[in-house]
Amino acid sequence: MKRGIDMTLQELQNEFPDATDATWHQHPNGGGWVENTAHVDASAYVGPDAVVYGNAWVIGHARVCGNARVSGHAWVSGHARVYGYAWVYGNARVFGHAQVFVNAEVYGNAMVSGDARVYGNAWVIGHARVCGNARVSGNARVYGDAQVFENASVYGYALVYGYAQVFRNARVYGNAVVSGDARVYGDAQVSGNAWVCGTAWVYGYTLMCENAVVSGNYSDTPKHFHPRWSGDVWKFQG
């Protein structure tokens, strides 16, 4: 496969001073550097400026390119792609047709799978899961045991954490927070400084924005109307 100018060993040593040609090698498919402790399948691609190190595995037809890094005990497999300046590390798993790119980071025990995309400056960490056609971008953070899946999007400076779930076509953005055991799904939107927490469920066509808060066991069931919660709205139910 045609490739660009490979990173030299001397350039690699700028980042990894202890690197030698006895402890590292260039992957035949792409020319990127791979530490000998890592495993990269012959079918996988590691681009000329990408680096795989530690005990990481890149397997199947996965691609690591641009200035991306895969390290620790992370796995990138299937047809997944990690590129740009993205970093996958720890015990993270990226597989299926998932993509992690720009400056995104996936680490801890997090998983990104299916056709999911994590990009921008987003982080997916801890035991979080992003899958299906979900998108996590901007400066968003998904962590703890949170899940974002199906066609959901989390972006801006939004936080999704705890055991929270965002799914179907839901959107969480701005400075919004979804935490605890909360669920945001359907075509619901949570934005601004809104906060959904506890065991609250927000779904249907609900729009939460500004400083609205839903907590406790509150459940909104909007069958015949499209509620809009904004300003300093507080809804609690024990």
DSSP the chain: ----PPPPHHHHHHH-TT--TTTEEE-TTT--EEETTSEE-TTSEE-TT-EE-TT-EE-TT-EE-TT-EE-TT-EE-TT-EE-TT-EE-TT-EE-TT-EE-TT-EE-TT-EE-TT-EE-TT-EE-TT-EE-TT-EE-TT-EE-TT-EE-TT-EE-TT-EE-TT-EE-TT-EE-TT-EE-TT-EE-TT-EE-TT-EE-TT-EE-TT-EE-TT-EE-TT-B---SS---EE-SS-EE---
pLDDT at 1: 38
What pLDDT sits at residue 216? 62
From 17-26, 29-38, 154-163, 217-226, the region with the lowest mean pLDDT = 217-226
The pTM assigned to this predicted structure is 0.91
Across the range 78-89, mean pLDDT stands at: 98
69-70 vs 87-88, strand pairing mode: parallel
Task: Give pLDDT, residue 224.
Answer: 35
114 forms beta bridges with none
CA torsion sign for 38, 39, 43, 44 is negative
Nearest C-alpha neighbor of 181 from the set 159, 171, 196: 196
For a pLDDT cut of 70, what percent of the chain falls above it?
88
Query: Model confidence over 116-141: pLDDT tens digits?
Result: 999 999 999 999 999 999 999 999 99
